[in-house]
Structure 1
Amino acid sequence: MKKVLKMACIAILCLAATACGNGSNGGNGGNGAAGGTTRPSDAAAASAAPENTASANDKLIVYTNANSDGRGEWLIAEAGKAGFDIELVGAGGADLTNRLIAEKNNPTADVVYGLNNMLYENLKKENILARYVPKWAGEVEEGLSDPEGYYHALVKQAILLGYNPEAFTPETAPKDWTELYQNDAYKGKYEAPTLLGQMTPRLVVAGILTRYTDPSGDLGISEEGWNAVRQLYDNGVPAVEGEDFYANLASGKTPLGAVVSGTLAKKEDQYKVKAGIVSPEIGVPVIVEQAAIVNGTKKQATAERFVDWLGSAEVQGAFAAQFKAMPANKQAAEQADPAIKALYSTLKTQPLDWAFLADHIDQWVEKIELQIMK
C-alpha cells in the first residue's frame, strides 16, 4: 500500500509541474495558458514588447547655440543617417535659456545642446532639465559634466583674444584683454562685446569683471571693475548684429577681438587669414558645451536615444575631425586635429567661479546695457 501511495503522489506532482510549465510558456510566448485561452495581461505584454524595444524615433525639436559655420547642417545629415529626424532651433545661448524658461509649463524643445554649464545651472534651478545619464557619461573628462546627471559635456571651447597678424605682431599685440582699453594703441581697433544676448560676449565681460570681485561692491564687483568695463566699451567698436567679426579681423576693420577655438580653423580657412592668439597670464575662459533633455518632453525615449548617439565617441570623434573641435569625451579627443591639440596645450584656463557667474551674469548684463552702453 505504501508503494502504491508513493507512486500516486509522484504521478500527481509530475502532472502539476507539467501544467505550470505550460502556463509559463504560454505567458512568455503569448500562446495562451493551460486552458487554451490567452490571458489579457499576457496579450498586452506580448504586443507592448516589440514596441518598447524597437519603437520608431519621433521627430525632435532641438535647441542649440552651436549650429553655425556648417555644424548644424552636419548634425542634421549625420542624425538622419542614424535614423533621427531633428529640427534645429538656433539662437544665442542666453536667448535660448530665457526661451526655455518662458516655455517651462509648455515645452517646445525636446533636447538642448551647446549651452555651457553656467546656463545649464540656471535651467536646472528652474526645473527645466530632465535627469538622464547617457551611456557615454563615463568616457567624459572628470569634472566637466553635472555631477547630478542633468547635463553632460560634449565640446570644450576656449574664448580667445585674436588679432590680425598684418596689423600686429606677437610683440606689438596686447598681452591681455585689459590692455585693449588701457593702451591708446588699441583704441578703436577692437570689437567691443556689445551683443550680450550671446554667450561669447558675456564671457569676455565676465573674464574682466571677475578680477574685481567685492562682496560689498555693486552686484559683487568693485567700482574699479565697473570702471574697467566702462573703458572697455568706450574705447572699442560696437559689434554689429549679423556681421561676422572674423571678416572684420581679416579686413583690418577691427583687427582685434574675441574668437572661439571651435570655429577658429574654419574662419582661418574661409578668410585666408590665420589669427594671432593672445595667451594672457591669467588664462582664458574655457567653457564646455553640454547636452540635456528638456523636462516634460513627450518624446523621452527618442530624446534619450538621440543624446546617447550625440555624445558617443564615434559621433564626437567625427565632429572633432570635421570641425577641429576639442571633445570632452576622452576617446573622441584622440581623433582631434593635431593643431587643436597643440593650441590647447599652450592655453591656460582662467579660474572662474561658475556658480557666482550664474547668479550674477544677468544682473551684470542689465547694468551694462542700461548704464554703460549708451
Structure 2
Amino acid sequence: MTIRTRRTLATLAVVGLVPALAACTGSEAPGEEGNTPVPPGSAELSGTVTLVTHDSFALSDGLLESFEADTGLEVQHVAAGDAGTLVNQLVLTQDSPLGDVVYGVDNTFASRAAQAGVFEPYAPGDLDPSVADQVEPGLEGLTPIDRGDVCLNVDTAWFEDADLEPPAGLEDLIDPAYADLTVVTNPATSSPGFAFLLATISAFGEDGWQDWWAELADNGLRVTDGWSDAYYVDFSGAGEGGERPVVLSYATSPAFTVTEDGSESTTAALLDTCFRQVEYAGVLAGTDNPDGARALVDFLASAEVQADIPENMYMYPADESVELPAEWEQFAPLADEPYDVPAPEIAEHRDEWIEQWTATVIG
C-alpha cells in the first residue's frame, strides 16, 4: 500500500522540478494607482521576499529556484504551523509582519485576518475566471491558490475486517455501533477542524449542531490539536499503528492510500460530510518588498504552480482548467454538494461558535 498524504508536505523542501518559468504578470493593486508590479527580470526586482505558509506547503524540485532565477529575487520560507496558528501569528504580528507574502490562509480563517488589516489588497491581472469566482465577499484582494474538501475518511479495510458497515454520514457517527472510532481536530487550532465544525453547523442548523456534537463526544470522540496527529497517530488507515478507523481529513486523501497495483484505495472519503476549503495567497501589509511580493503571488497563481499542486500539496488547483492526475477521478472526487457557510457569517460568529463547541465537547 502506498500512503502519501499531507504530512509528507511538512518534510519536503520548498523546491521545484520544471523548466524556467515564463514571466509572471500582475496588475495594479486595488486603490493604488501607478503601482503596477515590475515584470520578472527587471532591474527593479531585487532583494529577499519572505513567504510565510502553513506547514503543508511544498513545491516540486527546482520550481522555486526557477522563479528566483527569472526574477533575481531570493525567497525565504517560514512555516508557521497549522493554518489556524498561521492566522493567529499574522494577526499578532501585523505591526511587524513575519514576511512579505502569505500562503495557506483559507476561507474559514481568512476573514479574521482580513478584518485585522493583515493584507495589502492585490490580485494578479490574468486570473482564470474559475479562480476569480472563488474569492468570497470580504476576501477581495486575496488570490485563490488551491481548493479541496475537508471531510471524514474511513479505513475501509478496518471495517471489512470488523464485519461492520462503514458510517455513511454524520448521523451514523453517534450510533453506539461506532463508539470510540472517530478522531477529529480541534476547530480552535486547526483549519480542517474549523471547516468540519462549519459543515455540522450547516447540516444541523443553529438549533441542532451542539446536540449532535454532545452525542458524538458521549460516543467516544477523540480530539487532537492538528491534522498530522489525527491522521498519523490515531487513524488506523495511515499504516502507522493508529486504532481509530474514522478520521477528519480531505477528499483527496484516498488517492494516496492506493494499493500497489492501483486497483483500489484502502480508505474512502465520506462525501456527504464535506466542507469546501479554499486556500489563498496574499501580500502582507507593511511588506518591505511590495514589488517582489506581488511577483511571488503571481508565481503562486501561475500555470506552472497550479499544475504542481495536486502531486505536492494534494489539493485541487484553484484553476479548474488544470489537468488533474488520472487516479483522482476514481479516488479523489470533490463532493457534489459540500456544506457551505458564507464568509461574512463565519466572521460574525467564529469566536462564538468555537466557544460553544469547546464548552460542549471539551468542557
The Cα offsets for residues 75-115 of structure 1, whole Å up to 9 and x where unpaired, read as: 68521232142222231222221221111222222111112
Q: Which residue of 1 aligns with 2:354?
A: 365
For residues 189 and 245 of structure 1, the distance between their equivalents in structure 2, rounded to whole angstroms, comes to: 13
Q: Which residue of 1 aligns with 2:213?
A: 229
Structure 2 matches for 1:341-352, cutoff 5 A? 341-342=329-330, 343-344=332-333, 347-352=336-341
TM-score (norm 2): 0.74
Amino acid at match of 1:314: E
1:167 and 2:158 aligned:
yes
Q: Which residue of 2 aligns with 1:306?
A: 296
| 1:53–1:118 Cα change, 3 Å | same
| 1:372–1:243 Cα change, 3 Å | closer
1:144 and 2:130 aligned:
no
Q: Which residue of 1 aligns with 2:345?
A: 356
Amino acid at match of 1:287: Q
C-alpha contact (below 8 Å) 1:191/1:236 kept by paired residues: no
C-alpha contact (below 8 Å) 2:232/2:242 kept by paired residues: no
| 1:325–1:225 Cα change, 3 Å | closer
| 1:145–1:341 Cα change, 3 Å | farther
For residues 317 and 364 of structure 1, the distance between their equivalents in structure 2, rounded to whole angstroms, comes to: 36
**Alpha-carbon offset, residue 226 of structure 1:** 1.5
Compare relative contact order (CA 8 Å, sep 6+) and give the higher one, 1 or 2.
2
For residues 130 and 284 of structure 1, the distance between their equivalents in structure 2, rounded to whole angstroms, comes to: 31
1:340 and 2:328 aligned:
yes
| 1:174–1:202 Cα change, 3 Å | same
C-alpha contact (below 8 Å) 1:246/1:259 kept by paired residues: no
1:124 and 2:114 aligned:
yes
Q: Which has the higher helix share?
A: 1
Q: Which residue of 2 aligns with 1:79?
A: 64
Q: Which residue of 2 aligns with 1:249?
A: 236
How much identity, in percent, do the aligned residues show? Answer: 17
The Cα offsets for residues 30-68 of structure 1, whole Å up to 9 and x where unpaired, read as: xxxxxxxxxxxxxxxxxxx99993234432322222x43
For residues 91 and 139 of structure 1, the distance between their equivalents in structure 2, rounded to whole angstroms, comes to: 31
C-alpha contact (below 8 Å) 1:76/1:86 kept by paired residues: no
Structure 2 matches for 1:193-212, cutoff 5 A? 193-194=185-186, 196-212=188-204
CA RMSD of aligned residues (A): 3.1
| 1:269–1:361 Cα change, 3 Å | farther
For residues 338 and 123 of structure 1, the distance between their equivalents in structure 2, rounded to whole angstroms, comes to: 36
TM-score (norm 1): 0.72
> Which of the residues 26, 41, 55 maps onto 2:44?
55
The Cα offsets for residues 133-179 of structure 1, whole Å up to 9 and x where unpaired, read as: 21442354452025674111111111121111122259811111232
Q: Which residue of 2 aligns with 1:19?
A: none
